[in-house]
Amino acid sequence: MQDYAVLLIEKKDQEDQSQVLSAALVIVEEEILEVDSEFHVLVAIGSLMLDGLVRKIALDLDVEDIAKAAKASKDAKIAEVGVDIELLTKQS
């Protein structure tokens, strides 16, 4: 998923970025993932928010809740990505 996010950021394709973002949000909310898988999905979300065209869409889809859940993770790298995503939600 992370690779798709990077590719779509480079292509500046908002529609496809939105679809990948939506899928990533569903996966991270509804699936029980291994730590590495969850990390890569969260990085994809953060990448799309930072460099992509879908930051507002992510905010509309309550990405803040995902960031909070990630921040509370016992795994340090998941928690760190959660902090990063939360910071992205606060940028204007």
Contact 70, 81 (CB under 8 A): yes
pLDDT tens for each residue of the chain, 92 residues long: 778 888 888 888 899 999 999 999 999 998 788 999 999 999 999 999 998 789 999 999 999 999 999 999 999 999 999 999 999 999 86
Q: What pLDDT score does 30 carry?
A: 86
Q: What pLDDT score does 92 carry?
A: 64
Contact 66, 45 (CB under 8 A): yes
Contact 48, 63 (CB under 8 A): no
d(CA 24, CA 86): 16
For the entire predicted model, the pTM comes to 0.91
